[in-house]
């Protein structure tokens, strides 16, 4: 069966959430007897995100933009620049340096 699309499993049309008082119609593709609100997955995700944020601690870093070098604190381990301005200036500097390198590497053609 290479390349063939498999038909998605369905669980019946017209089913209603099993929680008393909830009249939510369940999707034919939902294998559960309850709707997403009563399934509890959204609560687990919310608590998981709160735990993850609580685990992050502040760290002191130095701005990666050479002309700045300012120290700043962040809880984001991927953050390299102290501000958006420094991030944009660093990008502009990289672009200009790449252009200079490209111009220097391009051979000069002389008419003969």
pLDDT band of 2, cuts 50, 70, 90: low
Same domain, 69 and 43: no
Mean pLDDT of the region 18-38:
87
User: What CA–CA distance (Å, rounded) separates 109 from 45?
Assistant: 62
Q: Is residue 60 predicted with pLDDT exceeding 90?
A: yes
For residue 32, give its domain range: 10-55
Same domain, 64 and 92: yes
Residue 40 is encoded by which pair of tokens? 């509890």
User: What CA–CA distance (Å, rounded) separates 82 from 76?
Assistant: 12
What's the pTM? 0.47
Residue 2 lies in a domain: no
Same domain, 65 and 97: yes
Q: Is residue 39 predicted with pLDDT exceeding 60?
A: yes
Asked if residues 54 and 48 have their Cβ atoms less than 8 Å apart, the reply is no
pLDDT for 5 equals: 74
Mean pLDDT of the region 22-42:
83
């Amino acid at each position: 069966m290479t390349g063939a699309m498999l038909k998605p499993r369905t669980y019946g049309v017209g089913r209603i959430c099993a929680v008393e008082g909830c009249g939510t119609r369940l999707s034919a593709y939902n294998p559960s007897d309850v709707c997403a609100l009563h399934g509890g997955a959204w609560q687990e995700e919310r608590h998981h995100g709160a735990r993850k944020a609580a685990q992050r601690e502040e760290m002191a870093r130095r701005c990666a933009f050479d002309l700045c070098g300012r120290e700043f604190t962040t809880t984001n381990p991927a953050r390299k620049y102290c501000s958006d301005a420094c991030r944009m200036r660093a990008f502009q500097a990289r672009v200009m340096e790449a252009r200079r390198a490209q111009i220097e590497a391009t051979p000069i053609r002389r008419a003969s």
